[in-house]
Amino acid sequence: MASKIADVIATERTALKETGGVTDGSIATNVKPLTPRSPADVRPERITSRDPDAFPAVTGREEEWRFTPVDRLRVLLDGAPSDARLQEKTELPEGVSLREVGSDDPLLATVPDPVDRLSALAMRNADGAVVISIPADAQVTAPVLVDLRGTGQAEVIWGHVVIEVGRHAKATVVFEHGGDARYAACVSVLVGDGAHLDLVSVQEWDSTAVHSQHTAIRVGRDARVRGIDVTLGGDVVRLVKTVEYAGPGGDAELLGLYFADVGQHLEHRLFVDHAAPSCRSRVTYKGALQGDSARTVWVGDVLIRAAATGTDTYELNRNLLLTPEARADSVPNLEIETGEILGAGHASATGRFDDEQLFYLQARGIPADEARRMVVRGFFADVINEIGIASLEERLLAAVEAELERTKL
Amino acid sequence: MSTPQNRAAGSVLSIRGLEVAVEDKTILRGVDLTVRSGETHAIMGPNGSGKSTLAYSVAGHPKYTVTGGTVTLDGEDVLAMTVDERARAGLFLAMQYPVEVPGVSVSNFLRSAATAVRGEAPKLRLWVKEQKEAMARLEMDPAFAERSVNEGFSGGEKKRHEILQLELLKPKIAILDETDSGLDVDALRVVSEGVNRVRESGESGVLLITHYTRILRYIEPDFVHVFIGGRIVEQGGKELADELEANGYAKYGAAAEPAGKSLPMGPVVPGAVTTA
């Protein structure tokens, strides 16, 4: 055990060294940070609340907003209620049910609270929720498909979706987002004891869409959840994902892939809160950026509380800058309140396109543009191959392929 | 430019008065060399003499600037070609430090390369067999094909992988840059046998760049060139290698170290300090 602790400390030290002594764990971004880092050693207590006014007004200077172009989210932050909805198409395999509930439904009282002002606004303004239920012990092999499409409405669309997975059930839920919308949502995910959920969210919005979402996952005892974000389109996409464990033995694997083009801001913020013993978490996000002002943000926070002995966690973020004007921010942050853990670590790197890889492939006769595509495909392949759902892997490879087609490498 | 299918015997790589600089520093000072298919040439020289620079300039690495001279392959101007055009024209460089390409499997890479060099995708069933047999000859585990290119490969695996490509791509002229460095005796034997198979086909010329003489016990050169200070200073048959092994490069005015004392620095890793 002592050596594990030493490993953790060494990892932290390295991170500190690489960031020049600041403690938020920022590593290897493309250029100097736009905003000064917080001087505090310990991040302030996290606020969770259903009341938007429990959170300070958003100026862009707050820790959780400092990377976000809040002006482009202003229409959401204004918080005007609306009845607008996304076009919904669902495929529900046998045994899976979908219902709409009012805001006074007792189920909604049990879901995790929002973590920032915008997610609190979304939960309040959604005024009820769509509930997808997978009954206990159900083994649903076909994926539950939810296709959400914006039709260009100017009003903000507020959404709240609850996914309930009964104990020992197994299911895959896939969200696909497309079209043009201003969409702010909460997705509450309740994974019962011993259940297994694969939750995929694909963002292929039009280049004008704005999407903000808080996905709150509660992992039951000995349950397993895999969350997979694939973000390829949109003007601003800001996805916050939080994981809490309702009991020991939970396992959360969070995978992500993003590809930012000219002018896009794609932000993924993760917070894994280890409060129960013997839980595991793995976070692996990879992004590629190309073009002027293409921007990505990845913030990976892991907190290991004193009670969370036997925790095993690792988070990784890699960014590939295909053009020099793009900018990726990567901020891993690990807080550890107990030494009695199995392992904890993080890694982050942001690099430019490797000309040596290009030379090697070209020296085997492969033309330059094809060689570049091979390298980018290869960069994402290990995330995609982790998914383990063949049909989905093919679909995502095709999506990356389409993205590469649109991209002049 | 000749078509990829044009593999007629009698190819000639002709290097005339080649001068090359790296970041304004002159490395090659007028190299003249002719390699014909079926011939094996060894280029030997001490560290920093410019041997690897010759290899990478002919392959077209962007770090090297050609400041004078010509390179032609069967009369075509190699220097006017892009890196991939040179490979498709029939040049091959086995690298001393092959590059990792994460997420790209060996089998995908090999088939992409073969498709590019041959001008059409090989038929899948035939290709699978061809690749499998070539790997077996190099004593490579079939599982190797599913690994990412060069990622986590041992030194010996990297070199076998380079020679595997050589055997599958069947170039007109192959330049092997320090292929023998970092190999144990078993791996050196396997790799040398691969090179010898290519030689015996009679369709490829081989330019073997080495710091050591030991690979020449396995691959017998027709010609040996001594490379000092960016030029060829002496040429001879294989007996010249024996003399170098005994006496080193002292008589050429270079550092009086015997051939093969220390490992040369790698080429062209960005950011790496080189001692050229």
Of A357, A368, A382, the CB nearest to B101: A357
Count Cβ neighbours within 10 Å for each residue of B150-170 and write b for 16 or more, e otherwise.
beebeebbbbbbbbbbbbbbb
Q: Which amino acid is at B107?
A: S
Tell me if B169 and A370 make a contact (CB, 8 A cut-off): no
Cα angle, residue B182 at apex, residues B180 and B186 outer, rounded to 5°: 70
pLDDT in tens, B13-44: 999 999 999 998 999 999 999 999 999 999 99
| For helices A368-387 and A355-362, angle between their N-to-C axes, nearest 10 degrees | 110
| CB distance B136 to B107 below 8 Å | no
**Angstroms from A232 CA to nearest CA on chain B:** 20
| Residue B264 half-sphere exposure toward CB, CA atoms < 13 A | 27
Average pLDDT score, chain B: 88
Query: What are residue A328's phi and psi, to 5 degrees?
Result: -120, 130
**Interface residue B106 vs chain A (CB under 8 A):** no
Locus of tokens 């389109």: A233
Query: What are residue B5's phi and psi, to 5 degrees?
Result: -80, -15
Q: For A58-69, what is the mean pLDDT?
A: 94
- In this prediction, residue A408 carries a pLDDT of 63
Provide the whole-model pTM: 0.79
**Interface residue B80 vs chain A (CB under 8 A):** no
Query: What are residue B18's phi and psi, to 5 degrees?
Result: -70, 125
Tell me if B101 and A363 make a contact (CB, 8 A cut-off): no
Q: Chain B contacts of A257, Cβ < 8 Å?
A: none
Q: Identify each DSSP E strand in A92-223 by its residue range.
A: 97-101, 129-134, 144-165, 170-191, 196-205, 210-219
**Interface residue B196 vs chain A (CB under 8 A):** no
Sign, CA dihedral B230-B233-B237-B243, equals: negative
Tell me if A364 and B269 make a contact (CB, 8 A cut-off): no
Task: Number of A to B CB contacts under 8 A, please give it.
Answer: 86
Q: Which residues 6+ apart lie within 8 Å of A404 measured at CB?
A: A373, A376, A377
pLDDT in tens, A90-101: 999 999 999 999
Tell me if A382 and B112 make a contact (CB, 8 A cut-off): no
Beta strand B76-77 with B65-73 is: antiparallel
Q: What count of other Cβ atoms lies within 10 Å of the Cβ of residue A399?
A: 19
Considering only alpha carbons, which residue of chain A is nearest residue B87? Answer: A365
Token pair recorded at residue A329: 């921010």
DSSP string across B58-85: HHT-TT-EEEEEEEEETTEEGGGS-HHH
**What is the distance between the alpha carbons of residues B171 and B169, in angstroms, rounded to a whole number?**
6
**What is the distance between the alpha carbons of residues A310 and A340, in angstroms, rounded to a whole number?**
6
**Interface residue B100 vs chain A (CB under 8 A):** yes
The answer, yes or no, to whether residue B248 has pLDDT greater than 70, is yes
**Interface residue B120 vs chain A (CB under 8 A):** no
The region of weakest confidence among A83-87, A285-289, B210-214 is: B210-214
**What is the distance between the alpha carbons of residues A235 and A208, in angstroms, rounded to a whole number?**
5
Tell me if A375 and B99 make a contact (CB, 8 A cut-off): no
pLDDT in tens, A293-310: 999 999 999 999 999 999
Beta strand A97-101 with B40-44 is: unpaired
What percentage of chain B reaches a pLDDT higher than 90? Answer: 78
Q: Chain A contacts of B270, Cβ < 8 Å?
A: 355-356
Q: Chain B contacts of A365, Cβ < 8 Å?
A: 84, 87-88, 113, 116-117, 169
pLDDT in tens, A134-188: 999 999 999 999 999 999 999 999 999 999 999 999 999 999 999 999 999 999 9
Tell me if A360 and B101 make a contact (CB, 8 A cut-off): yes
DSSP string across B180-206: TTT--HHHHHHHHHHHHHHHHTSS-EE
Q: Bridge partners of A77?
A: none
What H or E segment, with its residue span, contains residue B29? Answer: strand B25-36
Q: Chain A contacts of B103, Cβ < 8 Å?
A: 377-382
pLDDT in tens, A380-398: 987 888 777 788 788 888 8
**What is the distance between the alpha carbons of residues A25 and A101, in angstroms, rounded to a whole number?**
41
| CB distance B204 to B174 below 8 Å | yes
**Interface residue B182 vs chain A (CB under 8 A):** no
Considering only alpha carbons, which residue of chain B is nearest residue A356? Answer: B99
Q: Bridge partners of B209?
A: B43, B177
Interface test with B, best of A364, A376, A379, A382 (most B CBs within 10 A): A364
**What is the distance between the alpha carbons of residues A122 and A161, in angstroms, rounded to a whole number?**
11
Q: How confident is the model at residue B251 (pLDDT cuts 50, 70, 90)?
A: confident
**Interface residue B148 vs chain A (CB under 8 A):** yes
- Note the residue count of chain A: 409
Tell me if B84 and A363 make a contact (CB, 8 A cut-off): yes
Of A362, A377, A382, the CB nearest to B84: A362
The answer, yes or no, to whether residue B267 has pLDDT greater than 90, is no
Considering only alpha carbons, which residue of chain B is nearest residue A379? Answer: B103
Beta strand A210-219 with A170-191 is: parallel
Q: Chain B contacts of A356, Cβ < 8 Å?
A: 99, 268-270
**What is the distance between the alpha carbons of residues B22 and B10, in angstroms, rounded to a whole number?**
33
DSSP string across A145-180: EEEEEEEEEEEEEEEEEEEEE-TT-EEEEEEEEEEE
Q: Which residues 6+ apart lie within 8 Å of A211 measured at CB?
A: A177, A181, A183, A184, A185, A203, A205, A234, A236, A237, A238, A239
Q: Which residues 6+ apart lie within 8 Å of A196 measured at CB?
A: A165, A169, A170, A171, A223, A224, A225
Locus of tokens 């921010």: A329
Of A357, A360, A366, the CB nearest to B112: A366
What percentage of chain B reaches a pLDDT higher than 70? Answer: 88
Query: What are residue A17's phi and psi, to 5 degrees?
Result: -60, -45
Interface test with A, best of B83, B93, B163, B176 (most A CBs within 10 A): B83
**What is the distance between the alpha carbons of residues B179 and B43, in angstroms, rounded to a whole number?**
12
Of B95, B102, B116, the CB nearest to A365: B116
Q: Which ipTM value was assigned to this complex? A: 0.89
| For helices B106-118 and B124-137, angle between their N-to-C axes, nearest 10 degrees | 110
The region of weakest confidence among A11-25, B64-78, B247-261 is: A11-25
Of B86, B101, B269, the CB nearest to A361: B101
- Rounded (10°) CA dihedral B173, B177, B178, B179: -50
- In this prediction, residue A215 carries a pLDDT of 98
Q: How confident is the model at residue A19 (pLDDT cuts 50, 70, 90)?
A: very low
Interface test with B, best of A284, A356, A377 (most B CBs within 10 A): A356
CA-nearest of A231, A192, A238 to A215 is A238
**Interface residue B1 vs chain A (CB under 8 A):** no
Q: How confident is the model at residue B260 (pLDDT cuts 50, 70, 90)?
A: very low
Q: How confident is the model at residue B188 (pLDDT cuts 50, 70, 90)?
A: very high
Beta strand B205-210 with B101-105 is: unpaired
Average pLDDT score, chain A: 88
CA-nearest of A245, A307, A236 to A268 is A236
Tell me if A366 and B101 make a contact (CB, 8 A cut-off): no
Of B84, B102, B109, the CB nearest to A367: B84
Q: Chain B contacts of A376, Cβ < 8 Å?
A: none
Tell me if B82 and A374 make a contact (CB, 8 A cut-off): no
- In this prediction, residue A44 carries a pLDDT of 61
| Residue B64 half-sphere exposure toward CB, CA atoms < 13 A | 27
| Ordered alpha helix ranges (H), B3-105 | 51-59, 83-89
Of A366, A368, A377, the CB nearest to B113: A366
pLDDT in tens, B143-168: 999 999 999 999 999 999 999 999 99
Ramachandran assignment for B150, one of left (phi > 0), alpha (psi -120 to 50 degrees), beta (any other): left
Token pair recorded at residue A126: 């959604």
DSSP-based three-state secondary structure for B150: coil
Query: What are residue B105's phi and psi, to 5 degrees?
Result: -75, 155
Q: For A253-259, what is the mean pLDDT?
A: 96
Chain A: which residues have CB within 8 Å of chain B?
Answer: 354-357, 359-368, 370-371, 374-375, 377-382
- In this prediction, residue B276 carries a pLDDT of 33
Tell me if A366 and B61 make a contact (CB, 8 A cut-off): no
**Interface residue B164 vs chain A (CB under 8 A):** no
Of B62, B99, B117, the CB nearest to A357: B99
The answer, yes or no, to whether residue B4 has pLDDT greater than 50, is no
